[in-house]
Amino acid sequence: MESKNHHIVSALVENKSGVLARIAGLFARRGFNIYSLAVAPTNDPNLSRVTIVVDVEASLLSQVVNQLDKLINVVEIQELKPTDAVERELLLATVECSLSKRTEVIQIVTALGGEIVDVNLSGLTIEMSSSPDKLDALEELLSSYGIIKLQRTGRVALPRLTKESDTYTNQLKLA
Amino acid sequence: MKLTGAQALIKSLEHQGVEVIFGLPGGAILPVYDPILDSSIRHILVRHEQGAGHMAEGYSMATRKPGVAMVTSGPGATNIVTPLLNAYMDSTPLVVITGQVATASIGTDAFQECDITGISMGITKHNWLIKDANEIPQVIAEAFHVATTGRPGPVLVDLPKDISNATMEFYTPEPVSLAGFKQQIEPDASAVSQAAELILRAKKPVLYVGGGVIKSNGSAALKILVEQTSIPVVTTLMARGAFPDSHELNLGMPGMHGTYSAVIALQQSDLIVALGARFDDRVTGKISAFAPHAKIIHADIDPAEIGKVRKPDVVLLGECRRSIEELTRALTEKTAEANKDYKLPLELSQWHNTIKEWKNKYPLSYDRDAKDVLKPQYVIEELSKRQGEDTILAAGVGQHQMWASQYWQFNKPNTWINSGGAGTMGFAVPAAIGAKVGRPDKTVWAIDGDGCFQMTAQEIVTASAEQIPVKIAILNNAYLGMVRQWQHMFYEERYSEVYLSPDLPDYVKWAEAMGAVAFRVDTAEEVIPTIEKANEIDDRPVVIDFRTDVTERVFPMVPAGASNDEILVSAEHADSVIQ
Ligand SMILES: Cc1ncc(C[n+]2csc(CCOP(=O)(O)OP(=O)(O)O)c2C)c(N)n1
Ligand SMILES: [Mg+2]
């Protein structure tokens, strides 16, 4: 579940072997908690974008950003304030669902903007891409029917276009 | 020009200006040892790979050049992990080259395979596993660039055996440009101006000088700043020598075993100007109680140090020397403005007087009249008096290290070589050897503990074989003295596993067996003549076994976790407080 200590850090990293290990290792040895982490190559095949939701006190955040920035494979890094970012997360959930409950579940899912992507006689697999809090709401509703399997991707985020694109660069960010 | 990967590596090191490699060969690095025979680079064959790493550190700290060590895969690589940690903690530029099993064998638990890039990830600035011989010139250029640029530190290059054996077309590497590796050298002008304003208004300022001043070659600039402002200086364990001890504004070392005046001046100051220092717990004591009334100006090249421990009021992000120079410039400018009543040097006579009282009331002290025992502090004082200003001193870790830092007179930068952040026992002997290799023109002494000495003494064999005439003073108190001190004070004198014996081993015989000249000193009368004899020997290592007082403790002392205000100035004071 979301907590007030969650902060989104978005990093552009070199697409080289071992980079994820360097990032994960840094978090582990400095005692920073990762809540979620999403990583995939960008349009530039040499670079990947990593979106990390970190679970740290606000006062520690600049430490997280500055330490990550010291990794040589981290090319660019910034904190994204939720107000200044578009965020999405994808959820897949298989729910136990007898035929009698089926309509009810489908209604909930479609009302929230999700989709049914797989079906059999005893259950449904649901997909929904949305903001993390809406996925939390869906997850809670589905849990009363019995979630068998669940996978969330962790959020991905980009800065909003309406404001300056580098809205919240860390104060100490180097030129 | 077609070269093997191994030849390309050696050639790349030559291009970097490497004069010496400290190392020890083995299977995976074997191909690289062949072209060493034809290279201008000197190779020093160590007796244990930890020795190679610490020698490279000592070399670097004495010469301000990066140190280079080379070892084989597996146990060779893991043996150099401790020096990597040590160099990482103390920001010493090292390039460590490790052999690796052939690329096709990686991941198969092959003989002497070890994931050394994985192991060393957290204790290097960066590391590389080379997967193509064509990368060698470029990676080596990058490795030296990363190790020496910005906040210095160790890097590691892992070289699989098939890559060493492969052929490639040698080339001169491109100038290094790493997208994710950037440094700010020049401090922000408005921050400098704010810092200068704070300085000009301070009533009780202190310059808290750390290792960054030495790394950035900032000693001369610092001296100008001190003389311009008359602000008192404390020099951390990593910064001893950055400012002369002979200067009356130098209060000495702050921290757990710092001088009373250095510790309390920081505690009571209204402005701390931290120059290349990182508010280490050994300096601050209990952080919430550290210098409660001080505003902080923090000058450092590493953004991650800013606000890590103590939130600064003004940040001077940049090279330490440049920040000091800019402060001097801004201070001069501001006092020149007619409408301001600022003046230089600052009007600090009250602060100076207070500090002088502290200095007089609580100088460093020990029982100089002790009759039957040899005081370790006395040995160090006499040793220090009999050296030129250029003598380099290395130390191990423990009581002897703290006494060395307290009682040796440091007047020049890069003359003090010790293990600060990691506190690595066994550092002194190899570090001294490395320093002497880098500065053969200077006298190099090591002050070592009996415990430390036993960890790396075998490198005296290296020193004898390679004709590296270092001098080693063992302060032999028959104990792991620093641990004994803690057990004395905080474990009701229940001494657990700290006794070593004064004569097992027989240090004189052992040193002689390793090719050194050796002396034993039991009494105060023998100290000076023996030091003089040792000073005269210049063709081989010398070891002196000083049998020092077993019970002596290091003071002042701020107990771990306590506030600096709870500083214990002497044994009597400590014993009256701790029951
Ligand atoms: C490699 C390592 N192991 C253990 C320690 C913990 N330790 C710190 S000081 C010390 C005692 C050192 O004994 P010695 O070299 O005789 O020095 P002394 O304190 O007696 O001067 C020990 C064991 C350490 N710092 N490094
Ligand atoms: Mg000892």
Q: DSSP string spanning B492-547?
A: TT---S-B--SSSS-HHHHHHHTT-EEEEE-SHHHHHHHHHHHHH--SS-EEEEEE
Task: Say how far apart CA B70 and CA B77 lie, in whole Å.
Answer: 9
Please write the tens of the pLDDT for every residue from A99-114: 999 999 999 999 999 9
Tell me the three state secondary structure of residue B448: strand
Going by pLDDT thresholds of 50, 70 and 90, the confidence category of residue A172 is very low
Q: Which of B116, B149, B147 is nearest to B26 (CA)?
A: B116
Measured CA to CA in angstroms, residue A142 lies from A90, A99, A111 at distances of: 15, 15, 13
Tell me the three state secondary structure of residue B32: helix
In short, whether B451's Cβ falls inside 6 Å of ligand 1 is: yes
B17 dihedral zone (left: phi>0; alpha: psi -120 to 50; beta): left
Cβ atoms A76, A50 nearer than 8 A: no
Residue of B nearest to A46 (CA): B179
A86-157: CATH number: 3.30.70.1150
Q: Which two tokens stand for residue B1?
A: 């020009």
In chain A, residues 38-77 whose CB comes closer than 8 Å to chain B:
62-63, 66-67, 69-76
Measured CA to CA in angstroms, residue B491 lies from B26, B298, B397 at distances of: 46, 38, 21
Within chain A, all domains assigned CATH 3.30.70.1150 are found at: 86-157
Tell me the three state secondary structure of residue B24: strand
Say what the pLDDT of residue B579 is: 73
The pLDDT of residue A173 is above 60: no
- Architecture per CATH, domain B2-169, reads as 3-Layer(aba) Sandwich (3.40)
- pLDDT-flagged residues of chain B (< 50): none
pTM score above 0.90:
yes
**How many CB pairs below 8 Å do chains A and B form together?**
50
CA of B318 relative to ligand 1 center, distance in Å: 35
Cβ atoms B247, B234 nearer than 8 A: no
B482 is catalytic: yes
Q: Which two tokens stand for residue B232?
A: 């008192």
Which residues of chain B make contact with A74, given a CB cutoff of 8 A? Answer: 180
Q: Which of B24, B8, B55 is nearest to B432 (CA)?
A: B55
Say what the pLDDT of residue A174 is: 43
CA of B231 relative to ligand 1 center, distance in Å: 35
Q: What's the ipTM? A: 0.93
Say what the pLDDT of residue B341 is: 79
Which residues of chain B make contact with A175, given a CB cutoff of 8 A? Answer: 182, 184
Say what the pLDDT of residue B339 is: 62
Please write the tens of the pLDDT for every residue from A10-23: 999 999 989 999 99
Cross-chain residue pair B308–A63, CB shorter than 8 Å: yes
The residue count of chain A comes to 175
Say what the pLDDT of residue A1 is: 59
Q: Which two tokens stand for residue B278?
A: 């990182």
Say what the pLDDT of residue B338 is: 65
Say what the pLDDT of residue B337 is: 81
Say what the pLDDT of residue B491 is: 97
Task: Say how far apart CA B423 and CA B180 lie, in whole Å.
Answer: 31
The position carrying tokens 């460093």 is: B364
What 8-state DSSP symbol labels residue B176?
Answer: P
The pLDDT of residue A168 is above 50: no
Q: From start to end of B173-291, where are the E strands?
A: 205-209, 233-235, 271-275
The pLDDT of residue A3 is above 90: no
Q: Averaged over A81-104, what is the pLDDT?
A: 94
What 8-state DSSP symbol labels residue B240?
Answer: T
Estimate the share of chain B in helix, then strand, then coil, as percent rounded to the nearest 5: 40, 15, 40
In short, whether B449's Cβ falls inside 6 Å of ligand 1 is: yes
In degrees, to the nearest 5, what angle opens at C-alpha B557 toward C-alphas B556 and B560?
A: 170
In short, whether B49's Cβ falls inside 6 Å of ligand 1 is: no
Cβ within 8 Å of residue B469, ≥6 positions away: B436, B463, B537, B538, B539, B540, B541, B542
CA of B424 relative to ligand 2 center, distance in Å: 14
Any CB–CB contact under 8 A between A137 and chain B? no
Topology of B376-555 in CATH? Rossmann fold (3.40.50)
The position carrying tokens 């905080």 is: B490
For the beta carbon of residue B389, count every other beta carbon within 10 angstroms.
12
**HEC sequence for chain A:** CCCCCEEEEEEEEECCCCHHHHHHHHHHHHCCEEEEEEEEECCCCCEEEEEEEEECCHHHHHHHHHHHHHCCCEEEEEEECHHHEEEEEEEEEEEECCHHHHHHHHHHHHHHCCEEEEECCCEEEEEEEECHHHHHHHHHHHHCCCEEEEEECCCEEEECCCCCCCCCCCCCCCC
Percent of chain A with pLDDT over 90: 86
Instruction: Indicate the average pLDDT of chain A.
Output: 91
Percent of chain B with pLDDT over 70: 100
In degrees, to the nearest 5, what angle opens at C-alpha B128 toward C-alphas B123 and B134?
A: 165
Measured CA to CA in angstroms, residue B425 lies from B110, B396, B455, B457 at distances of: 32, 6, 7, 11
Going by pLDDT thresholds of 50, 70 and 90, the confidence category of residue A4 is confident
Q: Chain-centre distance of CA B222, in angstroms?
A: 19
B interface with A, Cβ–Cβ below 8 Å: 117-118, 121-122, 125-126, 129, 146, 178-184, 302-304, 306-308, 315, 317
Cβ atoms A54, A61 nearer than 8 A: yes
B189-361: CATH number: 3.40.50.1220
Cβ within 8 Å of residue B274, ≥6 positions away: B208, B210, B296, B297, B298, B299, B300, B312
CB-facing half-sphere around the CA of B271: CA atoms within 13 A: 21
Within chain A, all domains assigned CATH 3.30.70.260 are found at: 6-80
Measured CA to CA in angstroms, residue B16 lies from A14, B35, B139 at distances of: 26, 16, 12
Neighbouring residues of the ion ligand 2, judged by CB less than 5 Å:
B 449-451, 477, 479, 481
The pLDDT of residue A167 is above 60: no
Q: Which of B150, B171, B159, B172 is nearest to B132 (CA)?
A: B159
Strands across the sheet containing A74-80: A33-41, A47-55, A6-14, A74-80
Nearest atom within ligand 1 for CA of residue B448: 15
Cβ atoms A18, A62 nearer than 8 A: no
Say what the pLDDT of residue A171 is: 43
Cross-chain residue pair B179–A22, CB shorter than 8 Å: no
B436 is catalytic: no
Q: Which two tokens stand for residue A79?
A: 């904190």
In degrees, to the nearest 5, what angle opens at C-alpha B21 toward C-alphas B17 and B23?
A: 160
Any CB–CB contact under 8 A between A15 and chain B? no
Q: Which two tokens stand for residue B478?
A: 């028959």
The residue count of chain B comes to 579
Q: Where are the domains of chain B?
A: 2-169, 189-361, 376-555
Please write the tens of the pLDDT for every residue from B318-346: 999 999 999 999 999 999 886 677 899 99
Task: Say how far apart CA B76 and CA B73 lie, in whole Å.
Answer: 5
Task: Say how far apart CA B242 and CA B233 lie, in whole Å.
Answer: 10
- Architecture per CATH, domain A6-80, reads as 2-Layer Sandwich (3.30)
